[in-house]
Amino acid sequence: MSNYKFIISGGGTGGHIYPAIAIADELKRQFPDAEFLFVGAQDKMEMEKVPQAGYKIEGLWIAGLQRKLTLKNLLFPVKLMCSLWKARKIVKRFQPSLAVGTGGFASGPLLQMAASAGVPCVVQEQNSFPGITNKMLAAKAKKICVAYDKLDRFFPAEKIVKTGNPVRQDLLEVDSKRTEALQFFNLDATKKTVLILGGSLGARRVNQLIEKELNFFQQQGVQILWQCGKLYAAEYEKYNANENVQVLPFVKEMNLAYAAADVIISRAGASSVSELCIVGKPTIFIPSPNVAEDHQTKNALAIAEKNAAILIKETELDTEFETKFDTLITDETYQKSLSENIKTLALPNATKDIVEEIKQLLN
């Protein structure tokens, strides 16, 4: 039987959406006749990104709890009840063969209702420290696909399978694309290229750092490929006038950006970390301290502890960034060792391995 029906939920950030889409793409490749339905939070970016990837999506009226006491929190129980009710209706109507949740607000109600209806559920956890939704769903899930070790602190050990995080397949070959990449971004092949990544929306503190260090980068003789994020484009695009600086709101050709880079400065969201392990370039992580359970710091720490990347906390940027960057950019041996060490942590077959787990449940 290949006319399976898959219901998939994950959203709020690219880190939940792109793995969900990658899993759907691989399922579609293996089961061309299968039907797919995504379920997201109705005002989040998945409502735009999923249809762009060619899949149908329905939205739930759901949001997370704010950490501070706000009026939005008073609405949370109402939104949760509405979302559970709508999720139940969706599951009843669509009759899925299996449900997949990759984290984010909407996957909670959806997988809760799918499991209650006897639908087998798979949870995919991207981070080294799980979010609250996936922790709550652990009891309902048949399989929990993870990217890091030691997650049996949070999930039942017998359900855990270490697969890694789904990443774009075009990243597996970036080394062969360097010449094409330098031409595409019009970069100078005689200079080192520093790629700055703040996530799809951008990172205020990272952007402030790069703005402050532009003269320092000039003294270092490097060229900058700076993905500042859509939210900050108007503020920083003026620096395109500077020699050796390119400011881009969003980088669509990520494989080429990675291929062009000699050093990468990045946030430490789970998807980014997984991509950077595969790409294998010397990396400085600046984790966001403003995410649930500070999981970006934990993601970056899991890499830095293995001497596979440099970790600088936001609070230490003013005192440590220039020294650590200078050491890295001037020491080829150090660059090579970081590069080799981070590559050993890559799990390039994650998407296929997750789909193998799904196929076992279908059988």
Residues comprising the binding site for UDP-N-acetyl-alpha-D-glucosamine? 13-15, 127, 168, 200, 296
**Where is the binding site, in residues?**
13-15, 127, 168, 200, 296
- Whole-number Cα distances in Å, 177 to 145, 156, 258, 261, 337: 31, 42, 9, 11, 22
The amino acid sitting at 73 is: N
- Whole-number Cα distances in Å, 213 to 39, 88, 218, 333, 350: 42, 52, 9, 24, 37
CA distance 300 to 268: 6
CA distance 57 to 8: 9
- Residue 292 near residue 129, CB atoms below 8 Å: no
CA distance 265 to 283: 6
CA distance 314 to 205: 7
Q: What are phi and psi of 71, to 5 degrees?
A: -60, -35
- Residue 298 near residue 128, CB atoms below 8 Å: yes
Farthest-apart Cα atoms in the chain, separation:
63
State which H helix or E strand residue 108 sits in: helix 107-116
CA distance 29 to 24: 9
Q: What are phi and psi of 266, to 5 degrees?
A: -145, 155
